[in-house]
Amino acid sequence: MLRPLLLLLAALLLLSGCGVDADQRELCGRLIPAFDSEPPERLSARTEPGDGRTLRLDYRAGGQDRWIACRFAGTVFQAGHRELTGVATDRNGWLDDMRFAMLRLWAGQRLPVADAAEESAARSAPASWRPVLFLLQQTINAITVACVYGLLALGYTLVYAIVGQINLAMGELTMLGAMMTALGAAALGLAGLATWPPAILAVLVTAMGFTAVQGWAMDRLVFRRLRGLRSHTPLIAAIGLTMAYQEGVRLLQGARDWWPAPILDDRHELLTDGGFTVTALTSQFAILGLTGGLYALLWGIMQRTAYGRAHRACTDDAAAAELVGVDVNRTVAITFVIGGGLASVAGSVIALYYGGINFFTGYLVGFKALAAAVVGGIGSVPGAMLGGALLGLVETFWSAYFALAYKDIVAFGLLTLFLIYRPNGLLGTDRNRGD
């Protein structure tokens, strides 16, 4: 049983190659909107030959082939691998000090930049603990990814547990939440309230309310009418909803990327060996606290409220639950509302922490969150969070140590293995559903 798994992992390792640093690729990609108003297409990254500290991104914008190069203070295992020291483009060459300083100002302090003294100290510092610290840094980076996948996986697993159907349009609710958050963040910026916590919380609550209503509408107008059908009709309807939401947002907002200003981006140094420093942002602590709080709240609702008892009864046998007085339609509707709200929080995290959202944002994120739910055991609330954590760790570590281009292959390869060898997931159970 382990032999196919080992063979697959060996094949993926052979395919990985040397790769590029995921953090460097993300930081350099954030600078493209400063030089091109059109969204980039066919983005590819490579390290310049003979210079491991310079990363070049090739892309196409406005019908023309472009490139941008970013020079960093160190390579992947060196201090300063996220500290930008220079930027060049195909039109301007290497920017002079003044233009580079203006670029930093435009980036809104999102890019840590090393000075000459720090770069010299980084080159001379011992490297004994750097691999360990680098591993710890990637674990911290994985937390945010795991929170996004875990929150959306909770929405998938709650709906599947009670109706036995996968709502593929859940990813589009994440996209709507991200769009609503981006619009709210822009409004707060115009009003001068972009860093006021109550205003940010109000934007999150508004986005959650909007997607919760969308979740209710999905159930009331589509899934309730298809409940109990033993065919692929509900799945096809979910795909139709996905396409409708995507095209609707594209027609209303356009295909360009939205880049909300980052919030809570204060950097905290946690550990250092003199050459490599483990850091975390205030926003990462806030995201972890928000996710933990929502999970604890959901766990309490599921275990100690009448809705939780009704949900468990409908999960075990919906027909029997209805016979003893449980309002199945109401319970399912509330489940879609909760799932929509959780999907919105995942979208808000994507908008405010990662940026670069568009009408297609929820598609791949939705499928990965579904993979996390399946790996953890779809139908299990703890399993959804566990699957999200596992997928976030695998994706982040692969991006850090191997070729970034194979990240999605690994994620869905993991899903395939679980479907073959453990179809019920880590915490899922095999039970017969009542009609």
pLDDT for the residue 342: 95
pLDDT tens-digit profile, the chain (435 residues): 445 444 444 444 444 434 567 777 878 888 888 888 777 876 777 776 656 678 888 888 877 888 888 888 776 555 566 777 888 888 777 877 767 777 776 765 444 444 444 444 444 444 567 788 888 988 998 999 999 999 999 999 999 999 888 899 999 999 999 999 989 988 888 888 877 888 889 999 999 999 999 999 999 999 998 887 777 888 899 999 999 999 999 998 888 888 887 777 788 888 887 667 888 888 899 999 999 999 999 999 999 999 999 999 999 888 898 888 899 999 999 999 999 999 999 999 999 888 888 898 898 899 889 989 988 888 888 999 999 999 999 888 888 888 777 888 887 887 788 788 888 888 876 655 444
Q: Residue 232 to residues 100, 226, 236, 239, 424: CA-CA distances in angstroms?
A: 55, 10, 6, 11, 20
CB contact at 8 A, 44 and 404: no
Please report the sign of the dihedral spanned by the C-alpha atoms of residue 282, residue 288, residue 292, residue 298: positive
HEC readout, the chain: CHHHHHHHHHHHHHHHCCCCCHHHHHHHHCCHHHCCCCCCEEEEEEECCCCCCEEEEEEEECCEEEEEEEEECCCCCCCCCCCEEEEEECCCEECCHHHHHHHHHHCCCCCCECCHHHHHHHHHCCCCCHHHHHHHHHHHHHHHHHHHHHHHHHHHHHHHHHHCCCCCCHHHHHHHHHHHHHHHHHHHHHHCCCCCHHHHHHHHHHHHHHHHHHHHHHHHHHHHHHCCCCCCHHHHHHHHHHHHHHHHHHHHHCCCCECCCCCCCCEEEEEECCCCEEEEEHHHHHHHHHHHHHHHHHHHHHHHCHHHHHHHHHHHEHHHHHHCCCCHHHHHHHHHHHHHHHHHHHHHHHHHHHCCECCCHHHHHHHHHHHHHHHHCCCCHHHHHHHHHHHHHHHHHHHHHCCHHHHHHHHHHHHHHHHHHCCCCCCCCCCCCEC
Find how far residue 139's CA is from the centre of its chain: 15
Domains in the chain, please, with CATH? 18-124 (no CATH), 133-421 (1.10.3470)
Phi first, then psi, for residue 396 (nearest 5°) are -70, -45
Distance CA 106, CA 312 (A): 51
Q: Which two tokens stand for residue 421?
A: 């060898």
CB 89 within 8 A of CB 66: yes
pLDDT at res. 329: 93
β-strand partners of 230? none
Q: Provide the greatest CA pair distance for the chain.
A: 75
Given this model, what pLDDT does residue 122 score? 45
**Residue 258 tokens, joined:** 């939205």
Specify whether the CB–CB gap between 161 and 373 falls below 8 A.
no
* CB distance 351 to 211 below 8 Å: no
Give the pLDDT score at 80: 61
Distance CA 275, CA 278 (A): 10
User: Would you mind telling me the total number of residues written for the chain in this entry?
Assistant: 435
Question: Looking at residue 26, what is its pLDDT?
Answer: 79
Contact at 8 Å (CB) between 150 and 372?
yes
